Chain A
Amino acid sequence: MDNIENVQVEHISKRKRKKYFTAYAFCTPWFIGFVSFTLFPIIFMVYTSLTNRKLNGITHFIGLQNYANMFSSTTFWNSLKVTLFFTGVMMIVTTIWALILAMLLNRKQKLNGIFQFAYFLPSVIPTVALAYAFRTIFGKEAGLLNSIISMIINKNVQINWLYDQQTVYLAVFFITLFTYNTGQMMLIFRSGLNDVPIELYEACDIDGGGFAQKFFNITLPSISPIVLFNAVMGCISALNGSFALLFPLTGESGNPNGMTQVLSLLIYKEAFSNMKVGYACALSVVLFFIASLIGIALFGISKKFVFYEN
Chain B
Amino acid sequence: MRNVLKKKNIGNLVIYFVKIVFAVIMFSPIIWVLTGGFKTLTEFTTSSNIIPQKATLENYIYIFTNSNYFIYVRNTVLLMLGTTIGTLLSSSLVAYPLARMEFPGKNIIFALIIGTMMIPGIALIIPQYIMFGKIGWLDSLLPMVIPAFFAFPYNVFLFRQFFRSIPIELDEAATIDGCSVGGVFFKILVPLTKPTFVTIGILSCVFWWNELTQPVFFINSDSWRTLTIALMTSFMYTSGNAFVINWPSIMAASTLMILPPMLLYLFGSKYLVEGIKTSGLKG
Which A residues lie at the B interface, using CB under 8 A? Answer: 19-20, 22-24, 26-27, 29-30, 32-34, 36-38, 40-42, 44-45, 48, 101, 104-105, 107, 109, 114-115, 117-122, 124-130, 132-134, 136-137, 139, 141-144, 146-147, 177-178, 180, 184, 187-188, 190-192, 225-226, 229-230, 232, 235-236, 239-240, 243-244, 248, 264, 267-268, 271, 277, 280-281, 284-285, 287-288, 291-292, 294-295, 308-309
In addition to A26-B96, A142-B47, 17 A-B residue pairs with Cβ atoms within 8 Å of each other are A26-B93, A27-B97, A30-B156, A33-B149, A34-B112, A48-B126, A114-B23, A115-B23, A121-B30, A126-B209, A127-B210, A128-B228, A129-B231, A133-B32, A144-B32, A243-B122, A288-B120
**B38 contacts the other chain (CB 8 A):** no
Cα distance A44–B131 in the bound complex, in angstroms = 9
- Chain B residues whose C-beta falls within 8 Å of the C-beta of A119 in the assembled complex: 22-23, 26
Which B residues lie at the A interface, using CB under 8 A? Answer: 12, 15-16, 18-19, 22-23, 26-30, 32-33, 36, 44-48, 50, 90, 93-94, 96-98, 101, 103-104, 106, 109, 112-113, 115-124, 126-128, 130-131, 147, 149-151, 156, 180-182, 185, 206, 209-210, 212-213, 228, 231-232, 247, 250-251, 253-254, 257-258, 261-262, 264-266, 269, 273, 276-280, 282
Residue of B nearest to A277 (CB): B126
Cα distance A248–B117 in the bound complex, in angstroms = 25
Contact of A104 among B15, B90, B127, B279 (CB under 8 A): B15
Contact of B90 among A29, A118, A125, A134 (CB under 8 A): A29
Cα distance A232–B153 in the bound complex, in angstroms = 15
Cα distance A230–B36 in the bound complex, in angstroms = 34
Cα distance A243–B104 in the bound complex, in angstroms = 38
Contact A33 B127 (CB under 8 A): no
Residue of B nearest to A239 (CB): B120
Contact A124 B119 (CB under 8 A): no
- Chain A residues whose C-beta falls within 8 Å of the C-beta of B181 in the assembled complex: 19, 22-23
- Please judge, given known A-B contacts A37-B128, A118-B26, A125-B30, whether A267 and B123 are in contact too, CB under 8 Å: yes
Contact A125 B44 (CB under 8 A): no
Cα distance A286–B280 in the bound complex, in angstroms = 29
Cα distance A144–B25 in the bound complex, in angstroms = 12
Contact B97 A26 (CB under 8 A): yes
- Chain A residues whose C-beta falls within 8 Å of the C-beta of B16 in the assembled complex: 109
Contact of A22 among B44, B118, B182, B279 (CB under 8 A): B182
Contact of B48 among A147, A229, A240, A267 (CB under 8 A): A147
- Chain B residues whose C-beta falls within 8 Å of the C-beta of A268 in the assembled complex: 122
- Chain A residues whose C-beta falls within 8 Å of the C-beta of B147 in the assembled complex: 33, 36-37
Contact B232 A121 (CB under 8 A): no
Q: Taking chain A's interface residues, is the majority helix, strand, or loop, or is none over half, making it mixed?
A: helix
Q: Taking chain B's interface residues, is the majority helix, strand, or loop, or is none over half, making it mixed?
A: helix
- Chain B residues whose C-beta falls within 8 Å of the C-beta of A120 in the assembled complex: 265
Task: Determine how close the nearest CB of chain B comes to the CB of A133; give it in whole angstroms.
Answer: 5
Task: Determine how close the nearest CB of chain B comes to the CB of A132; give it in whole angstroms.
Answer: 5
Contact A104 B18 (CB under 8 A): yes
Cα distance A27–B279 in the bound complex, in angstroms = 21
- Please judge, given known A-B contacts A125-B254, A309-B282, whether A264 and B120 are in contact too, CB under 8 Å: yes
Contact of B122 among A19, A128, A267 (CB under 8 A): A267
Task: Determine how close the nearest CB of chain A comes to the CB of B254; give it in whole angstroms.
Answer: 4
Task: Determine how close the nearest CB of chain A comes to the CB of B235; give it in whole angstroms.
Answer: 10
Contact A128 B23 (CB under 8 A): no
Contact A20 B104 (CB under 8 A): yes
Contact B279 A130 (CB under 8 A): no
- Chain A residues whose C-beta falls within 8 Å of the C-beta of B265 in the assembled complex: 117, 120-121, 124
Task: Determine how close the nearest CB of chain A comes to the CB of B3; give it in whole angstroms.
Answer: 16
Contact A178 B151 (CB under 8 A): no
- Chain A residues whose C-beta falls within 8 Å of the C-beta of B121 in the assembled complex: 240
Contact A188 B276 (CB under 8 A): yes
Contact B15 A107 (CB under 8 A): yes
Cα distance A133–B147 in the bound complex, in angstroms = 32
Contact A24 B103 (CB under 8 A): yes
Cα distance A271–B117 in the bound complex, in angstroms = 23
Contact A126 B257 (CB under 8 A): yes
Contact B27 A121 (CB under 8 A): yes
Cα distance A308–B283 in the bound complex, in angstroms = 9
- Chain A residues whose C-beta falls within 8 Å of the C-beta of B97 in the assembled complex: 22-24, 26-27
- Chain A residues whose C-beta falls within 8 Å of the C-beta of B206 in the assembled complex: 124
Task: Determine how close the nearest CB of chain A comes to the CB of B233; give it in whole angstroms.
Answer: 11
- Chain A residues whose C-beta falls within 8 Å of the C-beta of B247 in the assembled complex: 132, 136
Please, could you name 23 A-B residue pairs with CB atoms under 8 Å apart, sorted by A? A22-B180, A22-B182, A24-B103, A29-B151, A37-B124, A44-B130, A48-B127, A121-B26, A124-B210, A124-B258, A125-B29, A125-B258, A126-B209, A129-B250, A136-B36, A141-B45, A144-B32, A192-B280, A236-B118, A243-B122, A264-B122, A288-B120, A309-B282
Cα distance A142–B104 in the bound complex, in angstroms = 63
Residue of B nearest to A224 (CB): B282
Cα distance A29–B148 in the bound complex, in angstroms = 10
Task: Determine how close the nearest CB of chain A comes to the CB of B178; give it in whole angstroms.
Answer: 14
- Chain A residues whose C-beta falls within 8 Å of the C-beta of B116 in the assembled complex: 34, 38
Contact A122 B47 (CB under 8 A): no
Contact A104 B120 (CB under 8 A): no
Contact of B131 among A27, A40, A136, A284 (CB under 8 A): A40
Task: Determine how close the nearest CB of chain B comes to the CB of A281; give it in whole angstroms.
Answer: 6
Cα distance A42–B93 in the bound complex, in angstroms = 25
